[in-house]
Amino acid sequence: MTERPVVGIFGAGKVGTALARLLEASGYDVLITGSPRQKALDLLVAVVAPGARVATPDELVAEADVIIVAVPFGKAATVPWELFDDRIVVDAMNYWPPVDGHLPMIDADERSTSEINAARNPRARVVKSLNHLGYHEMEDDSMDAGSPLRRALAVVGDDEDARNVIARIIDDIGFDAVDGGPLANGRALEPGNPAFGRELSASELVALLAPVAHLAA
Ligand SMILES: NC(=O)c1ccc[n+]([C@@H]2O[C@H](COP(=O)([O-])OP(=O)(O)OC[C@H]3O[C@@H](n4cnc5c(N)ncnc54)[C@H](OP(=O)(O)O)[C@@H]3O)[C@@H](O)[C@H]2O)c1
């Protein structure tokens, strides 16, 4: 994939629209699909993420090279994972009990929540990223390459090519991408873990991911 990939986003909420704005500003072609409950999505997107194209789930999957899932974790099953064979899919979700409620099966599951989501379609090339910074920081903390205070974001996943594609996007939208290795390492990026929500440089983020990589090995 040498040209800029077309990016499709599931979820036209706080994260989905912030990412759509950042991607549009960085020259990406963006498709976005919202909840079936959302009325007047064209109007919403025209106002909060101008330039992004509203699409049905089928249209999005047909056109997007990279799919970002940014819906509430508790609604992940409503996303059509069965259509994601061989597709690069970014899981930007977090299990967040204040929103999702306490889910006993998730509480008891030692896997990263992205491993749980990846199991919804083992043929999808799932990458975890973008989940560990707040939507309100996505634009404020975006900086040009080489800026001394540039914040780092991790990219973890079992498919190295997919990680590289997402790392390029992360860099384009204003963050230093840190390759965090396999998807299991994503636990360090989740709520309650050291890298979640913290403003970290690339070297600081690498240092936090290293112990988890050891555990996952
Ligand atoms: N808020 C943050 O700062 C932040 C940062 C990083 C990651 N995250 C994670 O990112 C995800 C989204 O967070 P958010 O704050 O953007 O939530 P949000 O503002 O509630 O937006 C999520 C949107 O996704 C919609 N949706 C639900 N099922 C869908 C489907 N199948 N297809 C398309 N859209 C669907 C929801 O509609 P309904 O209202 O109808 O469900 C809602 O409009 C969550 O997993 C969250 O934990 C959040």
The predicted pLDDT at position 38 comes to 86
The predicted pLDDT at position 197 comes to 95
Overall pTM > 0.85: yes
Q: Which residues contact 19 (CB under 8 A, 6 or more apart)?
A: 9, 68, 70, 92, 130, 138, 173
How many angstroms separate the alpha carbon of residue 67 from the centre of ligand 1? 14
The answer to whether residue 108 sits within a structural domain is yes
The answer to whether residue 67 sits within a structural domain is yes
Range(s) of the domain holding residue 74: 7-216
Alpha carbon nearest to ligand 1 atom 15, residue: 14
The predicted pLDDT at position 2 comes to 59
Backbone angles phi, psi at 200, to 5 degrees: -125, 145
- Give the separation between CA 130 and CA 127, rounded to whole angstroms: 10
Backbone angles phi, psi at 32, to 5 degrees: -140, 140
The predicted pLDDT at position 215 comes to 52
Alpha carbon nearest to ligand 1 atom 39, residue: 35
The answer to whether residue 53 sits within a structural domain is yes
Q: What is the CATH number of the domain that holds 183?
A: 3.40.50.720
The answer to whether residue 1 sits within a structural domain is no
The answer to whether residue 74 sits within a structural domain is yes
Our CA dihedral for 146, 129, 196, 120, rounded to 10 degrees, sits at -170
Q: Which residue ranges have their beta carbon within 6 Å of ligand 1?
A: 10-16, 33-35, 37-38, 70-73, 75, 78-79, 92-94, 96, 131, 134-135
The answer to whether residue 191 sits within a structural domain is yes
The answer to whether residue 204 sits within a structural domain is yes
Alpha carbon nearest to ligand 1 atom 47, residue: 94
Overall domain count for the chain: 1
User: Consecutive sets of 10 residues in the chain, 217 residues long: mean pLDDT of each?
Assistant: 88 98 98 92 96 97 98 98 98 98 96 98 98 97 96 98 98 98 95 94 92 57
Cβ–Cβ under 8 Å, residues 16 and 54: no
The answer to whether residue 2 sits within a structural domain is no
